[in-house]
Structure 1
Amino acid sequence: MSYQFKIISNEDLNQIIPMIYDLNEAKISLDVLTSRFNEMKKQNYECAVISIANELVGVAGLWFCTRHYIGKSVELDHVYIKPKYRGNGLGKKFMAWLYTYAKGKGCDSIELNTYVQNNPSHKFYYNEGFEILGYHFLKKL
């Protein structure tokens, strides 16, 4: 399997929306996702993808910032690999590429959130050396 990891331009972000729609189990409409990604283009956001034979099969959003408790950091967002490409080490290779990319941008750490019920992701991130730091709280206004 020949794959490529790369950062896509903000102009190409619409290409990932179908995968993000699948990731969110269609709970957020395509129109809302498109609107939100158009806003994200103006923020400190980048998007990494996995492609195989010109098909996008994986994605990870990257939010860059400096945090008082850890220094320059990247927060991974909406990490997703299409189900038929899972279980063959591709996720581990993608994470290694993301670590190298983040280090190259001067980051000291990587953070992420994962849904409480997403047990397979918990096991994956534990195996990658992530530790639970706290709880993520949300209040809609």
Structure 2
Amino acid sequence: MSIAFKILEKENIDLVIPLIQKLNNNKVSDAILRERFVEMFSQNYECAGLFKNNELIGVCGMWFCTRHYSGRSVEVDHVFIDEIYRGQRLGAQFFEWIYSYAKNKGYQALELNTYVSNHGSHKFYFNEGFKILGYHFLKKM
């Protein structure tokens, strides 16, 4: 099994959309997701892919910024590994790569949000050493 991690270019966003659709239960159309991803790429955003034998099986977005409480920070977003590949320690390997990538870019902290109902991710993030800092609120206008 050949595992690789790499940053995806904006031109490859169509590879990401099927995985994001699974993450969000197809709540947003492919066209709207594509529009949003194109805009995100212009806002200090990068997308990392997890490949097994050259097939994209996992994805993670990263927002790079500076925050008053954490310094130079990477907000990890929409982390998803296809269900059939879970339980193989690929998530831990992916995060080791993300930690190294962020440190090499000069960032000091990682933060993330996860859905309240995603209990499996909570266990994973606790095991990775993440602590709950606050609540994430959303209001659509």
Scaled by the length of structure 2, the TM-score of the pair is: 0.97
Residue 140 of structure 1 deviates from its aligned partner by: 0.7
- Tell me what 1:123 maps to: 123
Residues in 1 aligned to 2:54 and 2:69: alpha-carbon distance in whole angstroms: 40
- Tell me what 1:105 maps to: 105
Tell me how many residue pairs correspond in the alignment. 141
Scaled by the length of structure 1, the TM-score of the pair is: 0.97
Identity across matched positions, percent = 59
Q: Deviations over 1:46-76 (max 9, x none)?
A: 0110111221000000000000001000000
Q: How does 1:35-114 map to 2 (within 5 A)?
A: 35-114=35-114
Residues in 1 aligned to 2:82 and 2:127: alpha-carbon distance in whole angstroms: 20
* SS of the residue 1:111 aligns to: strand
Residues in 2 aligned to 1:120 and 1:137: alpha-carbon distance in whole angstroms: 21
Residues in 1 aligned to 2:62 and 2:82: alpha-carbon distance in whole angstroms: 18
Q: RMSD across aligned C-alpha pairs, in angstroms?
A: 0.7
- Tell me what 2:139 maps to: 139
- Tell me what 1:16 maps to: 16
Question: What are the ranges of 5 or more consecutive residues in structure 2 without an aligned counterpart?
Answer: none
Residues in 1 aligned to 2:90 and 2:2: alpha-carbon distance in whole angstroms: 11
Structure 1 residue ranges, 4+ long, deviating more than 3 angstroms after superposition: none
Residues in 1 aligned to 2:37 and 2:70: alpha-carbon distance in whole angstroms: 27
